[in-house]
Amino acid sequence: MTSRRVVLPESEIPSQWYNLQADLPAPLPPVLHPGTRQPIGPSDLEPLFANELIKQEVSTERWIEIPQEVRDVLSIWRPTPLVRARGLEKALKTPARIYFKDESHSPPGSHKTNTAVPQAFYNATQGIRRLTTETGAGQWGSAMSFAAKQFDIECKVYMVKVSYQQKPYRRSMMHMWGGTVTPSPSNETESGRKILAAEPDSPGSLGIAISEAVEAAVQREDTRYTLGSVLNHVMLHQSVIGLEAQRQLKLYDDSPDVMVGCCGGGSNFAGLTFPFVPEKLKGKDIRFVAVEPCCCPTMSRGQFRYDFGDTTQLTPLIKMFTLGHSFIPPGIHAGGLRYHGMAPMVSFALELGLIEAAAYHQIECFEAARLFAETEGTIPAPETSHAIRGAIVEALRCKEEGKEECIVFNLSGHGLCDLGAYDRYFSGELEDYQYPQEKIESAIGALPEISDWQES
Amino acid sequence: MTSRRVVLPESEIPSQWYNLQADLPAPLPPVLHPGTRQPIGPSDLEPLFANELIKQEVSTERWIEIPQEVRDVLSIWRPTPLVRARGLEKALKTPARIYFKDESHSPPGSHKTNTAVPQAFYNATQGIRRLTTETGAGQWGSAMSFAAKQFDIECKVYMVKVSYQQKPYRRSMMHMWGGTVTPSPSNETESGRKILAAEPDSPGSLGIAISEAVEAAVQREDTRYTLGSVLNHVMLHQSVIGLEAQRQLKLYDDSPDVMVGCCGGGSNFAGLTFPFVPEKLKGKDIRFVAVEPCCCPTMSRGQFRYDFGDTTQLTPLIKMFTLGHSFIPPGIHAGGLRYHGMAPMVSFALELGLIEAAAYHQIECFEAARLFAETEGTIPAPETSHAIRGAIVEALRCKEEGKEECIVFNLSGHGLCDLGAYDRYFSGELEDYQYPQEKIESAIGALPEISDWQES
């Protein structure tokens, strides 16, 4: 197989999602109620999420059917290409074979749509007429607006106010697909009004926007909330990435030694790698590298313990790698990687030693992105540049060690709406930032004392 | 075939370009020297263009080999998908079958790269180390920067100053691929200095930028000029679009009744339709509709006569549909369609009755773009929205007439770097503009009296 790209026919869009929960050597620690600190049940989640999504959240079935209506919408951009990065290999003079799975071709430009579409579908079939969500830089909000439009339901997005002002392109994209975008904090919710009363010029935060979106969802019978990462059902929906990659690698007659993805909430990394985990569990020598930014080192320097998903302590307590919900990372351009926690499934896999973590600085990631754009064409999102950096580090190791390994990474999204960040890189304005250990310790130290539920 | 998309394997990237010059019922009128007004020869063009491109410019060979090095780079995004627009069909309730060829997936996001790559290649193999070009909104400049980087030669882009200031994203894209971007008018050329002396705050124009790029090319032995539309060799290189579409339509077991493309200089329209012209010449009932903006109605309201390609009368005289080189269209968002002339080959085909022209207003085109984005996902470039409008008009005619025709249009590029234009559309700020007949007549009336060379 000498092709640069392998594109599967539409008939090979996976018909089932793969659920790693079925194969984990131990069950996931339960999610706890923030008040009672006891495991929560489905009824606690019903005002927030569609029933089918709640079932998927706790399911331990290995394979879950993808509805035909969902596959029909996925076919707008799936199956996505698996590309042999010969240009990058040549530039690095590495004996390694580098492949990337190109998730940048969805209409909003990232992998986020893979879960936005089933989330919209399950809500629509349950008779829900309206979805709320929050968005930072706008990737998730635009994916959710697009998906809601496909099933003819409304989408209401609370967008962090400073992004709303600074990222007009993502906002326009949401308008294009019929989404309603409100800068957060807003006067539309109690949470928003409270913040505005205390700080009229508040620039907003993801934590505040989550509170607004959740509040707006529970207020109305016909409305539910959607989330673009972290949750188990999001990891499930993203498995289409890895499942397609498995078939494509077979066509190349190749098999991965190392797989790399960037990690914010964890969903694109999980989507690529989880379908390959069973091979590792059966003894295959394969490494999974989750790459995060040095200045938000959730997995490399955080702790595996119970914490809240949001800053304002509204969400259930989840066992995950965390820097503490009060941790505020510096404003790097990879906004999607600025999260204090990590998906419970990714965290648990790390704790079990199934995956490993790596952290890189912003500038070295932009350098990797530039080399990638020069040699492979696509301009990657700043988040994605971390995966590229991770893949390059592995390829250079192979060169040093003279090893012909197979490296596969996830090109989670393009950077066409982030070109301002590249301008700052080219003009030398960017800075790297190593978070001081004492600040991390103090954020983690402030966490409530919750003895491990399973062991208690 | 029920697939939404048909993607050909890499091996089906065409190995030859199709040259309509071989099949035209009469030879193209010659290009005239601006001074002598006699037909120009290859030696007149050698300081400007690579020799191989000059040969292609005048070739009447039907098939011209695509070098393997060019096909290798094209394989970064080619073959492009042919998509059955079922979502759009459903929304229009039309019995017509609508397909679009998706040229938006190239790294710079449009069809322009199809000719940028061979232009860079032929210059590189001739030992040229540096290319100059001009760009308005930045589509062509970014395509040329990307292509030059693939063959490791320099690219110097003169970008119309007002766009340089207002369209930072396209500028960043050029930087990303190593292009040098200079706002035009600049102090680097005699032409630029002359303009700046007379008008220090000049916002620039495509005409001025062409003058600067041409001057900078002829100044140095190791430098040539490149152009992204109008010329015959550009039409030739774009034929990959239609050649792939032919094979893909066969897989759908379908055959076009109407083909639609937007027209600025003419290259994406020609690329899609020219390979189908021989079928029409053999008697097949097939229509080719070239869509232009109402406010720059080159084909619908211009004349077929000799005119200069640029505002400042530096270029050879070419026989084409023109509104007169002094015609300045209003500042609509489809910047790529604001050209006073039209490719000689497209013009000649129109004069011969092989193709037809249609003109639409800006707002109805944005409406078409919105419906397309909602139903098919991709947000189109403002230029491309004219082709979509044209296809919708044909589909609605089919509905009225109860005809099950096959409509194929070219999705020439995405609009992710043009979302500001959509904001203006959504906020109701856009205006339609019908160019007054007397202004058109006065611009055409000002043309030099050149008796038709062939008949003289």
For residue B455, is pLDDT > 50?
no
The predicted model gives A28-45 an average pLDDT of 92
The pair of structure tokens assigned to A300 is: 């490399």
Picking from A130, A215, A212, A244, the residue whose alpha carbon sits closest to that of residue A178 is: A130
H-only helix segments in A203-320:
206-219, 232-251, 267-273, 277-281, 298-301
Nearest Cα of chain A lies from the Cα of B109 at a distance, in angstroms, of: 10
Please tell me the distance from the alpha carbon of residue B302 to that of residue B322, in angstroms, as a whole number: 5
For residue B367, is pLDDT > 60?
yes
Nearest Cα of chain A lies from the Cα of B172 at a distance, in angstroms, of: 6
Query: Given this model, what pLDDT does residue B433 score?
Result: 79
Q: What are the pLDDT digits (tens) for B2-27?
A: 789 988 999 999 999 999 999 999 99
**Could you give the strand order of the β-sheet that contains A82-84, starting from the edge strand earlier in sequence?**
A5-6, A82-84, A97-102, A406-411, A258-262, A287-293, A356-360
Return the SS3 of A124.
helix
The predicted model gives A355-366 an average pLDDT of 96
Question: Could you write out the DSSP letters of every residue in B151-218?
Answer: TT-EEEEEEEHHHHHH-HHHHHHHHHTT-EEEEES-SSSHHHHHHHHH-TT----HHHHHHHHHHHHH
Closest residue in B to A84 (Cα) is B76
A6 beta partners: A82
* Inter-chain residue contact B106 with A426, CB threshold 8 Å: no
Substitution target in A419, A424, A427 with the highest count of B β-carbons within 10 Å is A419
Nearest to B373 among A109, A176, A373 (CB): A176
Nearest Cα of chain B lies from the Cα of A97 at a distance, in angstroms, of: 17
Query: Given this model, what pLDDT does residue A1 score?
Result: 57
Which residues of chain B approach chain A closer than 8 Å at the C-beta? Answer: 3-5, 7, 9-11, 72, 75-77, 105-107, 109, 146, 149, 168-169, 172-173, 175-178, 370, 373-374, 376-379, 416-417, 419-420, 422-423, 426
Closest residue in A to B374 (Cα) is A177
* Inter-chain residue contact A176 with B3, CB threshold 8 Å: no
* Inter-chain residue contact A5 with B75, CB threshold 8 Å: yes
Cα B263 to Cα B342, B346, B365, B389: the distances in Å are 8, 9, 13, 13
Q: Are B157 and B133 a contacting pair, CB within 8 Å? A: yes
Q: Are B101 and B380 a contacting pair, CB within 8 Å? A: no
For residue B449, is pLDDT > 80?
no
Closest residue in B to A421 (Cα) is B172
Q: Give the percent of chain B with pLDDT over 90.
A: 80
Nearest Cα of chain A lies from the Cα of B382 at a distance, in angstroms, of: 13
Please tell me the distance from the alpha carbon of residue A315 to that of residue A324, in angstroms, as a whole number: 14
Please tell me the distance from the alpha carbon of residue A145 to that of residue A172, in angstroms, as a whole number: 11
Give the dihedral sign, CA A190/A193/A199/A201: positive
Return the SS3 of A291.
strand
Contacts of B316 (CB under 8 A, 6+ apart): B31, B32, B33, B34, B40, B44, B308, B309
Q: β-pairing, B287-293 with A130-135?
A: unpaired
Percent helix, strand and coil across chain B, each to the nearest 5: 45, 15, 40
- Give chain A positions within 8 Å (CB) of B10: 3-5
* Inter-chain residue contact B420 with A370, CB threshold 8 Å: no
The count of CB pairs under 8 A between chains A and B is 103
* Inter-chain residue contact A76 with B172, CB threshold 8 Å: no
Query: Given this model, what pLDDT does residue B206 score?
Result: 83
CA B293 to chain centre: 14
Please tell me the distance from the alpha carbon of residue A333 to that of residue A339, in angstroms, as a whole number: 13
Cα B348 to Cα B40, B94, B230, B290, B321: the distances in Å are 19, 33, 12, 13, 8
* Inter-chain residue contact B374 with A76, CB threshold 8 Å: no
* Inter-chain residue contact B168 with A106, CB threshold 8 Å: no
Query: Given this model, what pLDDT does residue A452 score?
Result: 60
- Give chain B positions within 8 Å (CB) of A418: none
For residue A273, is pLDDT > 60?
yes
Please tell me the distance from the alpha carbon of residue B453 to that of residue B456, in angstroms, as a whole number: 5
The pair of structure tokens assigned to A146 is: 């697009």
* Inter-chain residue contact A177 with B109, CB threshold 8 Å: no
* Inter-chain residue contact B176 with A379, CB threshold 8 Å: yes
- Stronger pLDDT, B277 or A430, i.e. the higher one: B277
Which residues of chain A approach chain B closer than 8 Å at the C-beta? Answer: 3-5, 7, 9-11, 72, 75-77, 105-107, 109, 146, 149, 168-169, 172-173, 175-178, 370, 373-374, 376-379, 416-417, 419-420, 422-423, 426
Closest residue in B to A5 (Cα) is B10
Cα A266 to Cα A288, A331, A397: the distances in Å are 13, 19, 25
The torsion region of residue A268 among left (phi > 0), alpha (psi -120 to 50) and beta comes to: alpha
The pair of structure tokens assigned to B75 is: 């394989």
Q: Give the percent of chain B with pLDDT over 70.
A: 98
Ranges assigned E (strand) in A111-203: 130-135, 154-160, 180-184
Task: Place B132 in a pLDDT band, splitting at 50, 70 and 90.
Answer: very high
Q: What are the pLDDT digits (tens) for B324-358?
A: 988 878 777 888 888 889 999 999 999 999 999 99
Residue type, A50: A
The predicted model gives A404-429 an average pLDDT of 94
The predicted model gives B202-211 an average pLDDT of 87
Query: Given this model, what pLDDT does residue B348 score?
Result: 98
A181 beta partners: A157
Nearest Cα of chain B lies from the Cα of A261 at a distance, in angstroms, of: 22
* Inter-chain residue contact B75 with A417, CB threshold 8 Å: no
H-only helix segments in A302-416:
344-351, 362-376, 384-401
Please tell me the distance from the alpha carbon of residue B134 to that of residue B118, in angstroms, as a whole number: 18
Nearest to B416 among A374, A416, A423 (CB): A416
The predicted model gives A235-248 an average pLDDT of 98
Nearest Cα of chain A lies from the Cα of B108 at a distance, in angstroms, of: 8
Tell me, what DSSP letter sits at residue B21? Answer: G
- Give chain B positions within 8 Å (CB) of A168: 419-420, 423
Nearest to B377 among A10, A76, A423 (CB): A76
Question: Could you write out the DSSP letters of every residue in B271-297?
Answer: HHHGGGHHHHHTT---EEEEEEETTS-
Tell me, what DSSP letter sits at residue B223? Answer: E
Cα B290 to Cα A271, A311, B140, B393: the distances in Å are 44, 56, 20, 13
Substitution target in B2, B68, B76 with the highest count of A β-carbons within 10 Å is B76
Q: What are the pLDDT digits (tens) for B93-131?
A: 999 999 999 999 999 999 999 999 999 999 999 999 999
Return the SS3 of B450.
coil
Q: What is the mean pLDDT of chain B?
A: 93
* Inter-chain residue contact B416 with A75, CB threshold 8 Å: no
Return the SS3 of A307.
strand
Query: Given this model, what pLDDT does residue A282 score?
Result: 96
Nearest Cα of chain A lies from the Cα of B106 at a distance, in angstroms, of: 8
Question: Could you write out the DSSP letters of every residue in B73-86?
Answer: HHTTTPSPPEEE-H
Q: What are the pLDDT digits (tens) for B368-401?
A: 999 999 999 999 999 999 999 999 999 999 999 9
The torsion region of residue A49 among left (phi > 0), alpha (psi -120 to 50) and beta comes to: beta
Q: Are B129 and B204 a contacting pair, CB within 8 Å? A: no
Query: Given this model, what pLDDT does residue A100 score?
Result: 98
Question: Could you write out the DSSP letters of every residue in B353-389?
Answer: TSSEEEEE-HHHHHHHHHHHHHHH---B-TTHHHHHH
For residue A12, is pLDDT > 50?
yes
Give the dihedral sign, CA B311/B313/B315/B318: positive
Nearest to B176 among A168, A417, A422 (CB): A422
Nearest Cα of chain B lies from the Cα of A285 at a distance, in angstroms, of: 31
* Inter-chain residue contact B373 with A177, CB threshold 8 Å: yes
* Inter-chain residue contact A77 with B373, CB threshold 8 Å: no
- Give chain A positions within 8 Å (CB) of B422: 172, 175-176
- Give chain B positions within 8 Å (CB) of A428: none
Q: Are A229 and A266 a contacting pair, CB within 8 Å? A: yes
Q: Are A251 and A6 a contacting pair, CB within 8 Å? A: yes
Peptide bond connecting A25 to the previous residue in cis, omega within 30 degrees of 0: no
Q: What are the pLDDT digits (tens) for B133-143?
A: 999 889 999 99
Query: Given this model, what pLDDT does residue B452 score?
Result: 59
- How far apart, in Å, do the first and last CA atoms of chain B sit? 55
- pTM as predicted: 0.95
- Give chain B positions within 8 Å (CB) of A1: none
For residue A312, is pLDDT > 80?
no
Return the SS3 of A413.
strand
Q: What are the pLDDT digits (tens) for A97-149?
A: 999 999 999 999 999 999 999 999 999 999 999 999 999 889 999 999 999 99
* Inter-chain residue contact A423 with B10, CB threshold 8 Å: no
The predicted model gives A74-81 an average pLDDT of 96
- Give chain B positions within 8 Å (CB) of A72: 4
B313 exposure class (CB count in 10 Å sphere: 0-12, 13-18, 19+): middle
- How far apart, in Å, do the first and last CA atoms of chain A sit? 55
- Give the count of beta carbons closer than 10 Å to the beta carbon of residue A446: 11
Q: Residue B180 — φ and ψ, nearest 5°?
A: -100, 125
Q: Give the percent of chain A with pLDDT over 70.
A: 98
Please tell me the distance from the alpha carbon of residue B208 to that of residue A411, in angstroms, as a whole number: 40
CA A430 to chain centre: 24
The torsion region of residue B424 among left (phi > 0), alpha (psi -120 to 50) and beta comes to: alpha
Please tell me the distance from the alpha carbon of residue A176 to that of residue A155, in angstroms, as a whole number: 12
Query: Given this model, what pLDDT does residue A279 score?
Result: 97
Return the SS3 of A71.
helix
* Inter-chain residue contact A176 with B109, CB threshold 8 Å: no
- Give chain A positions within 8 Å (CB) of B417: 416, 419
Nearest to B107 among A11, A149, A377 (CB): A377
Return the SS3 of A195.
helix
